[in-house]
Amino acid sequence: MIKKYFGTDGIRGKVGSGLMTPEKVLKLGWAVGRVLASQKDATGSNRVVIGKDTRISGYMFESALEAGLSAAGVDVDLLGPMPTPGIAYLTRTLRASAGIVISASHNPFYDNGLKFFSPEGKKLDDEIEYAIEAMFESEMSIVDSSALGKAQRIVDAHGRYVEACKATIPMSVRFNGLKVVLDCSNGATYDIAPKVFAELGAEVIAIGDKPDGLNINLNCGSTHPEQLIARVAIENADLGIAFDGDGDRVLMVDKKGEVVDGDELLYIIARSRLSEGEDIGGVVGTLMTNLGMELAVKDLGLEFARSDVGDRYVLETMNEKGWVIGGESSGHIICIDRTTTGDGIVSALQVMAYLAKEKITLHEAKSGMKKFPQIMINVSLPGHADPMQSAVVQQAVKQAESKLNGRGRVLLRPSGTEPLIRVMVEGEDELLVSQLAKNIATEVEQAAQAA
C-alpha cells in the first residue's frame, strides 16, 4: 500500500495549503486521537504530548491539534518549543500514547509539518499511519462532553530534557576550558542547547538563539554554517556546533574553520565507542555516505552497511544488524545506545566527550578519515522518462566505474520529491570525478530527451 498523506518523516507542506491548514490539522488531531483511543488497552494511556519548533505557524497548529485530540477524548500535554528528540524523550518518560512534533525541520518558516512518535519515542509503525489516514477520511464526530480530553502545560519540560542530554555522557566528563560557539538556527534548541553545554563546564557563545517566528533556519544553522565559521574565528573558539531548526541534525566547525559533516561526526563517535571498549558491531550510513567514511570505519575493524537515504531507513538497517550507531551526511545521527531517535545535542555531546577524554582537538579527531571528492549533478526529467534504463547510460556508468578502478563509486538515484535524476560520482581524483559525473549527466539528459 502507498500512503496518501504520510511521507518518510511525517507530513510536511507550505502553511495554508494541502494538509497544512487549521481545519485539516484539527481533523488530523482528531484522527490520531481516535486511532490511539482504540489502542488504549494496549498502551495503558490516553494522552498525547505536543511540542513544536519556533516558526510562527506553530501556535496555530498547536491549538488545532489540541482541539482535534480533545474532540476525540484524548488528553494533551503541551511542551511548547522543544527539539524533536526532546519530544520523543518526553513521550516515552511521560508514558504517553504518542508524541506529535509541529515542525518542518530545516525548511523555511513558511513551511510546517507534523512528526509522530510511538509510546517508545520511535517513529510510528506503518500500520498505525495507515489507520490514521483511513480515519482522517471518515466523517468527524465528537465524544460526549463528559469524555472530552483535557490539556495541561508541562512547565518543567526543558529541565527534564537538559538532564536527559547530560546523562548520555559519563558523569566524570567536564568541558571546562573549552570555548564553544553554538548556532541554534533560531529554532527549537535556542534555550536548551546553551544550558546543556554551559552546565557541563564549556564557555558558550550562542548565535541563532533569538527566534522571532520568521527567522528559523534563515542563513543560519546546519544548512548555512557561514556565520558559525566566522564566529569561531572571531572568538578564537575551540569549535562550533550548528543545529537545524528542530534540533535533530548537527554539524560542527573545527578551529581551522573546516566544516565537520555527519559522516565525519559518525566516524568520531565510532572511535569514541571503541575507546570505551564497547562492542558496536558496525556502523550504518546511507547511499550518499562518503566512501572515505566507509573505508575509515573498516580501518577501525568495524563493519559498514548502507541504507536508503532517510533516517527511517538508517534505523531499520541498524535494527536489522543489531548495531547501535548510524546516520547521514546531513548530520542526522542516531545513537540508540543513548536515545531513540536522531538527536543533534546528544550527538554533539558524544563527540565533545571524546575530545575532552582524549584531550585532542576536533580537527585531530577527524584526521583518521579522508573524505573522497564527491560530485553531485541533478538532471531534470521531462515527463515520465526513465533514462536509468537506457543502455547508453548504463554503459557510461560501467566505463566510469572501470576508470575509478575500485577506488570510487557511481550512483544514479531518482529524487523522491522532484522530477530529477541525481548523478553522484566520488573517487580519489577530483578532476576525474568531476569529468565522469559530467559525462554521465550528459548521457542521462540525452536519454531523457529521447525517451
Catalytic positions are 105
* 424: β partners: 376, 411
- CA separation for the pair 87, 48 (Å, rounded): 11
Distances in whole angstroms, Cα of residue 270 to Cα of each of 257, 277, 293, 297, 439: 23, 11, 11, 8, 36
Task: Compute how many other C-beta atoms are within 10 angstroms of the C-beta atom of residue 243.
Answer: 31
Pairing of the two strands 98-102 and 203-207: unpaired
Pairing of the two strands 250-254 and 259-260: antiparallel
* 425: β partners: 375, 410
Q: Is the dihedral of CA 399, 400, 404, 407 positive or negative?
A: negative
Which residue matches cell numbers 508524541? 99
Main-chain dihedrals φ then ψ at residue 426, nearest 5 degrees: -140, 150
With a CB cutoff of 8 Å and minimum separation 6, the contacts of 88 are: 99, 117, 121, 122, 339, 340, 341
